[in-house]
């Protein structure tokens, strides 16, 4: 912690600092990419799923929780264009 010219503390982790200042952030994520249909002439369709777990600890804890966590699931259906124009 440092003190500025007005005598107020600046930096991270002092008493009264914002709890949006992160001391530690940890994340675990994994996913799958499954091709359901593929044709070199017409493209491909994929189902992409991903799970994410995130936790954070702030430097200073006033009245809020000492740590938070979040679970997120992403689901994506993707169509990939073919590499070249189909010949008819």
For 68-87, give the DSSP string.
Answer: EEEEEEEEEEEEE--SSPPP
What does the pLDDT look like over 7-63, one tens digit per residue?
Answer: 888 888 777 777 778 889 999 999 999 999 999 889 999 999 999 999 998 888 777
* Per-residue tokens: 38: 């593929």
- Give the Å distances, CA to CA, from 70 to 4, 25, 29, 41: 36, 11, 12, 42
pLDDT at residue number 55? 95
Give the pLDDT band of residue 86 (cuts 50, 70, 90). low
Domain boundaries, the chain: 22-88
- For the cut 80, the answer to whether the pLDDT of residue 65 exceeds it is no
- For the cut 70, the answer to whether the pLDDT of residue 83 exceeds it is yes
pLDDT at residue number 18? 77
């Amino acid at each position: 912690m440092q003190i500025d010219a007005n005598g107020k503390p600046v930096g991270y982790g002092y008493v009264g600092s914002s709890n949006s200042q992160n001391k530690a952030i940890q994340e675990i994520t994994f996913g799958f990419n499954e091709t359901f249909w593929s044709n070199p002439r017409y493209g491909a369709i994929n189902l992409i799923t991903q799970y994410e777990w995130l936790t954070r600890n702030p430097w200073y804890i006033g009245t809020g929780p000492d740590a938070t966590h979040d679970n997120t699931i992403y689901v994506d259906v993707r169509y990939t264009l073919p590499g070249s124009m189909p010949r008819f």
